[in-house]
Structure 1
Amino acid sequence: MTAAAREEILRRIRAAAVPPAPEPPRHYLRHAPGTDPDDRPGTLALFAERLAEYGARVLRATDPGPAVARALHEEGARSMVVPDGLPADWTADWDGEVRADRPPLGKAELDATDAVLTACAAAVADSGTLVLDGGPAQGRRAATLLPDLHVCVVRAEQVHSALSGALAVLDPARPLTFVSGPSATADIEMIRVKGVHGPRRLVVVLLEAPSG
């Protein structure tokens, strides 16, 4: 291609009429369909319902320690990995082995551990989703993917009705992991298999303020 031909092509491209980019929609729904954004009990109930649909268990509690111990005992866990920054009272009622992920445990050690206990950065009621960003009490991705059981403590105020609310409080520069129920996938014949990309079992401890 000659220089003259190249310049002619570029001239025609610049002269072509390019329609303006459409305005981004601003009227999208900012809360779960059919819900009142101010109805906190309804939002929490929807969150628990969505998680149950995925096959996760939800324990509603006002004190995390007994609820975490109950979840681990009922799931048959004997060992658990915990990330930095996890409150000590979350494990105070459990009598199993606690393995701190510091220095970072190897893949074989994580795989041989029954459970992982974490917090989360945010949660979405409409999709039953937990969002982890690697912050305090959340740990690194490997520690939340290799153990077979994930117990996650979610504070009621962290549960947003829809994804837009959660995105407003998340830092996009952090390593975000979205978890909707236990890890599962389906093949071409739609046979569902759990535990392919992460834990086969998920228990959410939904922490609410004591009444009164």
Structure 2
Amino acid sequence: MNGGTSRERILGRVRRALADVPPSEHPGDHPVARDYAVQHGERTHSATVGLLAENLEDYRARVHRTDAPGLPALLARLLGERGARRVVVPAGLPGGWLAGAPAELVLDSPVLTDHELDSVDSVVTGCALAIAETGTVVLDAGPDQGSRRITLIPDHHLCVVRTDDQVVGSVPQAIRRLTPARPLTWISGPSATSDIELERVEGVHGPRTLEVILVAGDPREL
């Protein structure tokens, strides 16, 4: 006898665990304490930004730093070095960011097919925030980020992070600032996976190359 199916065994364990719970009791009657640490240790904001850069690079993202006035020139240089001829951009990306870019700009739109997105060379977006302790950039489909698919299909993603107000230390701090009803995409380095022999392959379900630009100041008015 094998004791029934796996489903039956699991449900049996649940029933036994709940056997002494009064029928009148509800989950909310026993609040769970959530007094765990918000982040690991104390850091200055500058140190938090430095930790973000370190962890992004550890995940094989390429990290660049600039101030707000220098952002357009840096984006133009990075796209030029990449040889990007067509770049997809969200509808709400500030117009000045790519004013000097040597490329055709393709506006994010529902009518763009996956084949058309696959034919572009790069995508440029902003972000919702970035998490220092995990080296993670979070997108929430805001105006400067566009639809999720534009950051999954092109092979090269340039993501702009405002260091003054978009960098948090930890995941709990990020959760407090994010809206769960929005389509959240959490990115830690370029897309990668490993087969059974642990051979790393990049670009399987997202861009092979992620470049993160940490911008001091506010580039939204460019």
CA–CA separation in structure 2 for the residues paired with 1:35 and 1:108: 47
CA–CA separation in structure 2 for the residues paired with 1:53 and 1:144: 21
Tell me the SS of whatever aligns to 1:168: helix
**Aligned residue pairs, count:** 195
TM score, norm. by length of structure 1: 0.85
Task: Give unmatched runs, 5+ long, in structure 2.
Answer: 1-14
With over 3 angstroms needed to count, the CA separation of the structure-2 counterparts of 1:104 and 1:119, relative to structure 1, is farther
Whether 1:200 aligns to 2:205 is no
CA–CA separation in structure 1 for the residues paired with 2:192 and 2:32: 34
Equivalences for residues 43-54 of structure 1 within 5 A: 43-54=48-59
Preserved contact between residue 35 and residue 42 of structure 1 (Cα < 8 Å) = no
Q: CA deviation at 1:23?
A: 4.5
Equivalences for residues 56-75 of structure 1 within 5 A: 56-63=61-68, 64-75=71-82
TM score, norm. by length of structure 2: 0.82
Preserved contact between residue 134 and residue 175 of structure 1 (Cα < 8 Å) = yes
CA–CA separation in structure 1 for the residues paired with 2:101 and 2:213: 15
CA–CA separation in structure 1 for the residues paired with 2:139 and 2:111: 18
Whether 1:129 aligns to 2:161 is no
Q: CA deviation at 1:35?
A: 4.0
Deviates further, 89-98 or 65-74: 65-74
Aligned partner of 1:96 in structure 2 is 103
CA–CA separation in structure 1 for the residues paired with 2:149 and 2:37: 34
Aligned partner of 1:18 in structure 2 is 21
- What amino acid sits opposite 1:166 in the alignment? A
CA–CA separation in structure 2 for the residues paired with 1:166 and 1:70: 31
Preserved contact between residue 160 and residue 213 of structure 2 (Cα < 8 Å) = yes
Aligned partner of 2:217 in structure 1 is 209
Aligned partner of 1:107 in structure 2 is 114
Q: CA deviation at 1:93?
A: 2.0
- What amino acid sits opposite 2:217 in the alignment? A
Q: Deviations over 1:77-126 (max 9, x none)?
A: 22100011000011012121111123531111100000001111111011
Equivalences for residues 160-179 of structure 1 within 5 A: 160-179=168-187
Q: CA deviation at 1:76?
A: 2.8
Question: In structure 2, which of residues 174, 186, 192 is the aligned counterpart of residue 184 of structure 1?
Answer: 192
